[in-house]
Structure 1
């Protein structure tokens, strides 16, 4: 049995679908099992209950792990007979792991280390920028034709969550990714301004991105999941990426056998959110 944490989230939902399509037995962990819309045959349970008995492999979303407690969850996994853990990590672990300048990378690397110490099989899926980060612009796009944000020329290769889910599911189902740390990107490097322009092309409206100062951007970003320190870290990264196209990783195509989905495809899949 495969257990998926964060099973109704952006990535976890695709992991569940991929596993179900492959005919696997899946238990989806979520905060509200009654409201979860899952593929036929997939069972659901509450995350905090951690029902891992009978599980052979586990997909870990760090946000869920940190919520319930890392040590508690990993200990429970070992006791229940889990043999393999696939973690949704971050390519930020490949950068300088200074807690003051890269708190996101530090937290993910610490969790990777804890998983390695369990002695279980593991794969760490390390995506860069999520295409879904563009959802932060939904309210601005619905309100007008201009998106305000930092560093219009910052380049990244945003990845579709379905591609992350496909890679993670492959790591759960097959043995060839055990002990690997595939770094994932989308198939094209785009600036923030490019992304907003593409959203406009898909929704049929001329949209543009207008750069705002660092401090104004920090104030907008900090809050909720993002601490002020995380906001500062991200802004430093954005500043370094201005006019620097990101190298595109071949890993999605190597692992899944097909090219990664473009940002325009992601917008088409989420177009209702922007209208």
Structure 2
């Protein structure tokens, strides 16, 4: 079996772009040419998985990454890996378990997805942000010296940030009537929302580095190419519907109430999600924070306007 690069959650929003880009880069040759790409998914018969399975060097494997063991990693000769944990109460347990297994198995390098930098701290209010802080702290301990790693800290994912915007436009196009445009964005603060495609491309470029040592223990801020404020989102909407938006709510948090109401987890814990946008509203998540390594290795391309246009065509 060839040395293997594992992509956990390969059919997810970011994972699929990691796999696609890895296939292209490894086909071009280089130090890792001949490495196998193991695309892990719980849905191997789904359309995305079937598409990935056709790519050169890719093997789609039915495997939930949270159940991966050190023995499985050894048997599959895994040398590098990507993981994007889900923001849920079990995140620390599941991701740390994967990382411990990677360390035991002798995996050389892992790239992971974190959250926006201002929220990665031990006193962060959003529950998942503390999990990211804990994981990065764990990786920085002497016990983990044998595992090189890079943590990517996106300000906010563009499709999620713009979902209510796309829904508003689609509703207007279907009914000719305006609802209320609810935005998590503040009116004026610039936020450099980033598309999962751009993150996936960067992850792939990191994973194929002949020597990842320069990126070891790095925490890179990964943003989109442009800032956008709530007022600018409203202007985008007006271009698409060709009329003025009649009613808009900035800093909307009703989505967090809905998650808390339907979640089976502790309601108060889920309501902590309401604190997530505060760094965005404070102007702490603009393009000025983007790490130069991201711009140098795989500069982002998807602007907010382009992401919204794509969402409306889906």
**Which of the five TM-score ranges fits, normalised by the shorter chain?**
0.7 to 0.9
- Alpha-carbon deviations, 1:147-166, whole Å to 9, x = none? 22353334311112121112
RMSD: 3.2
Matched, 1:115 2:135: no
TM-score normalised by structure 1 residue count: 0.82
Q: Which aligned pairs between 1:133-152 and structure 2 lie closer than 5 A?
A: 133=160, 134-144=162-172, 145=178, 146-150=180-184, 151-152=186-187
Greater shift after overlay, 131-140 or 162-171? Answer: 131-140
Q: Which aligned pairs between 1:79-118 and structure 2 lie closer than 5 A?
A: 79-92=104-117, 96-99=121-124, 101-117=125-141, 118=144
Q: 1:47 aligns with which of 51, 60, 64?
A: 64
Give ranges in structure 2 of 5+ residues lacking alignment. Answer: 27-34, 173-177
Q: Which aligned pairs between 1:1-275 and structure 2 lie closer than 5 A?
A: 1-23=4-26, 24-35=35-46, 36=49, 37-38=51-52, 39-41=54-56, 42-45=58-61, 46-48=63-65, 49-50=67-68, 51-52=72-73, 53-63=76-86, 66=91, 69-92=94-117, 96-99=121-124, 101-117=125-141, 118-119=144-145, 120-133=147-160, 134-144=162-172, 145=178, 146-150=180-184, 151-174=186-209, 175=212, 176-198=214-236, 201=239, 203=240, 205-206=242-243, 208=245, 210-211=248-249, 216=254, 218-220=256-258, 222=260, 228-241=270-283, 247-249=288-290, 251=292, 252-256=294-298, 258=299, 260-273=301-314
- Alpha-carbon deviations, 1:91-149, whole Å to 9, x = none? 235665314x2433311111122233422011111111111211244433322344223
Alpha-carbon separation, structure 2, partners of 1:26 and 1:138: 34
Give ranges in structure 1 of 5+ residues lacking alignment. Answer: none
Contact 2:79 2:106 in 1 (8 A): yes
Shift of 1:204: 5.8
Alpha-carbon separation, structure 1, partners of 2:121 and 2:98: 28
Shift of 1:185: 1.3
Alpha-carbon separation, structure 1, partners of 2:96 and 2:196: 27
Alpha-carbon separation, structure 2, partners of 1:196 and 1:221: 25
Alpha-carbon separation, structure 1, partners of 2:253 and 2:110: 39
Contact 2:187 2:231 in 1 (8 A): yes
Equivalent pairs counted in the alignment come to: 269
Contact 2:10 2:41 in 1 (8 A): yes
Change (3 A) 1:90 1:254: same
Change (3 A) 1:220 1:210: farther
Alpha-carbon separation, structure 2, partners of 1:103 and 1:219: 15
Shift of 1:194: 1.7
Alpha-carbon separation, structure 1, partners of 2:148 and 2:286: 35
Which secondary structure does the structure 2 equivalent of 1:63 belong to?
coil
- For the pair shown, the structure with the greater C-alpha radius of gyration is 2
